Structure 1
Amino acid sequence: MTLGTFMQQLANGISVGSLYALIAIGYTMVYGILKLINFAHGDIFMMAAYFAFFGVTTFGLPWYVSFIIAIILTAVLGAVIEFLAYRPLRTAPKISILISAIGVSFLLENLAVVLFGGMPKAFPTPKILTDVVVIGGVSIQNLTFIIPVVTIILLFALLHLVNKTNVGMAMRAASKDVETASLMGIKVNRIISFTFAIGSILAGIGSMMWSVKYPQIIGTMGIIPGLKCFIAAVIGGIGDIKGAVLGGFILGIGEIMLVAALPGLTGYRDAFAFIVLIVILLFKPTGIMGKNLTEKV
């Protein structure tokens, strides 16, 4: 592998890793409070792409207006899913909430196929994002620079929200003990809905950038990214925001560099994520930055 090829693939790996990190934060935020894996997160990601697609193609909105509206609608969708599918089961056994999450995932996937069709659609790609810059013989899309910057900015904004604001204090209190936080006057339902909305916003932003990078959308497009971002959250330590970002970068850079170094394994790119997951669970079940916690019975 030449130096130019290495740098090209490294830039691609950082870009993909940033997207994984952004979406993985949504998993880890919900798990941090409810100890729930929101398996519908990847399908919320998919719905955001369709919101933006129809905003541009059907309503003729400028791409940046459509993207903003799509992100807002995605936040509303996340909060509605929490209200309808998860809140009524708040006191039910964990397996009931897990089954509900899987049911919501299948519902969104099949609803998208019924409403939007089963054929892939070409996502509108703004020229300003897809233009290529040549640096030292390496061709890099503008989007490749933008994705890591957006991810890092959102990470710091989220850390500020969680650690420096009253809402963040309430989120941290709810993550420790929902019942006690409620007794202390915290509006737990509002905090949980807000957490779902924030996680969905991150999924929506990730969806916009993913769809521009890979401009083909379909009702099942959220399955593999959703699973990979869940794996990224587990690698870093699910429940830890910085861990989710670390896991995303490890997974994204790792799989891109593996394929670059061993082109014959291109067809096994997705399998790499599951192999890493198995290794992490064997040697560090709580993830790289995870803490050993005992679950309440």
Structure 2
Amino acid sequence: MEPHWDDLRIFLAVAREESLSAAGRRLKVDPATVGRRVGRLEAALETPLFVKSPTGYALTDAGQRLMGHAARVEQALQMASEELGGETGGLSGQIRIGAPDGSANYLLPQVCSKIANENPDLEIQIVALPRVFSLSKREADLVVAVSPPTAGRLMVQKITDYKLHLAAARWYLKSHPPITSLDDLKDHKIIGYIPDMIFDKELDYLSEIGVEKPSIGSNSVSVQINCVRIGGGVGIVHDFSLPFHKGVKKILTDQFSLTRGFYLVRHEDDKRLERLNRFSEALCNGIREEVARLEGGT
């Protein structure tokens, strides 16, 4: 018996979500139905595709091989739908973006809201997680990254540079020992990333000022700048986040500054999907404009 596309679609959802219930939520299908469809596909192919592991459903070797074929079928159907539908009007359907929480909190809400307003039939999902996303498993349709990946069948586009500086709350600076040089930082609590939870070397900011571990650490940029905002100490913050925290002030700007970059990463197989091409262009343009606007302090 030949596998049906609907069964392959469910197989892909389980493979990507590693859970029947999560796949069901993604597809708006009852988990029991998801399980039956997977069983039907395994019976049709006469081989197990998943094994139940402590963390969920893991692909077998056969499942791994099927994953590539099913993804290509999915892509072919998407391209056929675009060609038949024209895709000359507004964007539609669902697009999921994976992003580190700095860009997800301070850039993507404005950028994606504008794109969504211009495309009423488009559903945009922003997944903000402090880790690397897997495009091969389709955890996201595209990813905003802080360094260009060097492996995998991926398309990488530089979006823009952004700047970071040391900063502290204004009232904190008035009530603590003065900071006139980097050496003065030894008299202050430092806020930054938890060292063993830094998922990209470009985020290892504190090593730039000779600090091995922070006094207050978090894997979240938003938590870090909120600790700075309430006077928890000194941190290295994105310039584009400062307009959202008026009580936080950059310090030692003539002695310390970092420049990092944002990159848009997509799967190589998606290069012919016009809706993703159009969305990517709008997203990149929007991020560039928003970084320039916020770093300008407006």
TM-score, reference length from structure 2: 0.24
Structure with the bigger percentage of helix:
1
Larger RCO (CA within 8 A; separation ≥ 6): 1
Larger Rg: 2
